[in-house]
Structure 1
């Protein structure tokens, strides 16, 4: 039930696509030849995080006729429309991001700011792969099982869409399909997503009424606090002042380890140098 053909994924992410009878690939065709498709008059735009230029995907998207806008993004790797944000992961990166807890935070941010968050998982078409052998997949959910982690991620974020791609060129075709009937992304808004203002308020933050976003951002920047343990600290404390008064033992319980707790406690207890 989790795996859908590309055309059905695009069908579910675009507006009013149920009434359309033509092919999304034809609608998004970009051509320089006279007498081309009518939709070719408007060039498709994709906002790309600067760090993604270490890969070849932005170049492939450009070759497909898309206009690439390089910026520094706080949330997501690719912005396809005002509502669609894509986080791209290779298989190796997926494992490491799960291990560090970084993927959970990245998906949490996408769900927080975009109506249609997408996790793109790329694998090589020249090599077969599997997360684990069939014999190792049990009936129970275990914290160290990659299939369990992926399943829990989808269950925790029901709006998250997972897209599998076999190559860079396949990814470009998927992006073109997802952009069907979508408005073009706004560069200014995309760069401001997730960035606190001078007053400490995060623009368009849907959780601003329930969370002190300034305090959360401050907490996540403390030594020893990571993407995988800051939520436990928030659940165990009602304020930053309460965090500062916790013992090493209590911090170890919340942070999941003695080492991280000692790093934070030493930082909080360090004497401020005398100003001369």
Structure 2
């Protein structure tokens, strides 16, 4: 008796309940709906990266009636529509991503492939809905301030939208609002975003005309090159051939340390093994 069939519309019918009044009201409602034609309700779809299933948000979205499509995404965590891509960050993950430089790269790729890139900052329901008190926020930009880092991120990527959420359930409400008047996302296209084809071509890359994306991907796979220093390397040399000729001192300036510079230099100078 605890389970309520869906055809009862939430009403629990006991043994002595009368069905006739409900049937009569149902017939009256049908006459008001243009001869009984059913309204076609669109099922909301959200494409979710597989790694996000470590959190409870996909389950909460499912409980709200959204159809969850789990795939492996190269760009973003949630695809709300063909235009909207969401990167979701908890507070701890936000601080760690800023420190490693990973967040800059994630936002950069969202801006490259989606018209409306969104950074969702999600707080815990049992904690304060703020980073710090208003009196502690200074006027100067400081490298250790999270507010300064977010401000610089927004200035560098003007199209980025930053959304604040109080909890997982608030995030589900936000997703429902974002999906209003939006087309449903395409699973196949979402999986291809940011993934190069066999010919090395990345579809819908707005920077492909101005950047050699294959060279950038090769650079990022070199030893000592990280998400936080590869952009400085690109600004300091014009090509991979120029990079191979740079001395260790110049590499240390671009890469932010002697250890990373020596790692890259030793890799570039290593000789091929000789077959005897």
Which bin holds the TM-score, normalised by the shorter protein?
0.7 to 0.9
Q: 1:39–1:240: structure 2 CA closer, same or farther, 3 Å change rule?
A: farther
3-state DSSP of counterpart to 2:70: strand
How many residues are paired up? 245
3-state DSSP of counterpart to 2:231: helix
Kept in 1: contact 2:129–2:166 (CA 8 A):
no
Q: CA deviation at 1:168?
A: 1.0
The one-character-per-residue Cα deviations of 1:109-161 (angstroms, maximum 9, x if unpaired) are 10110000111111112111542344442211122211100001111111111
Aligned to 1:131: 131
TM-score for both structures, normalised by structure 2: 0.84
Q: CA deviation at 1:230?
A: 0.6
Q: CA deviation at 1:273?
A: 2.2
Aligned to 1:152: 152
Which structure would you say has the larger Rg?
A: 2
3-state DSSP of counterpart to 1:41: coil
Higher RCO (C-alpha 8 Å, min separation 6): 1
> Residues 6-21 of structure 1 correspond to what in structure 2 (within 5 A)?
none
Aligned to 2:98: 98
Q: Alpha carbon RMSD of aligned pairs, Å?
A: 1.9
Aligned to 1:239: 239
Q: CA deviation at 1:266?
A: 1.4
Distance 2:168 2:52 in 1: 13
2:210 is the counterpart of 1:203:
no
Q: Which runs of 4+ in 1 moved over 6 A?
A: 37-40
- Unaligned 5+ segments in structure 1 are 1-30
Q: 1:244–1:114: structure 2 CA closer, same or farther, 3 Å change rule?
A: same
Q: 1:253–1:112: structure 2 CA closer, same or farther, 3 Å change rule?
A: same
The one-character-per-residue Cα deviations of 1:154-179 (angstroms, maximum 9, x if unpaired) are 11111111111111111111101000
Q: CA deviation at 1:185?
A: 0.3
3-state DSSP of counterpart to 1:162: strand
Q: 1:254–1:173: structure 2 CA closer, same or farther, 3 Å change rule?
A: same
TM-score for both structures, normalised by structure 1: 0.84
Q: CA deviation at 1:272?
A: 2.2
Aligned to 1:65: 65
Distance 1:118 1:248 in 2: 39
Distance 1:67 1:131 in 2: 33
Distance 2:274 2:179 in 1: 57
- Unaligned 5+ segments in structure 2 are 1-5, 10-25
Q: 1:60–1:215: structure 2 CA closer, same or farther, 3 Å change rule?
A: same
Distance 1:159 1:90 in 2: 21
3-state DSSP of counterpart to 1:105: helix
Aligned to 1:44: 44
Kept in 1: contact 2:220–2:227 (CA 8 A):
yes
Q: 1:129–1:175: structure 2 CA closer, same or farther, 3 Å change rule?
A: closer
The one-character-per-residue Cα deviations of 1:199-238 (angstroms, maximum 9, x if unpaired) are 1111111111100000001001111111111111111111
The one-character-per-residue Cα deviations of 1:59-107 (angstroms, maximum 9, x if unpaired) are 1111111111110001000000000000000000000000111101100
Distance 1:66 1:40 in 2: 16
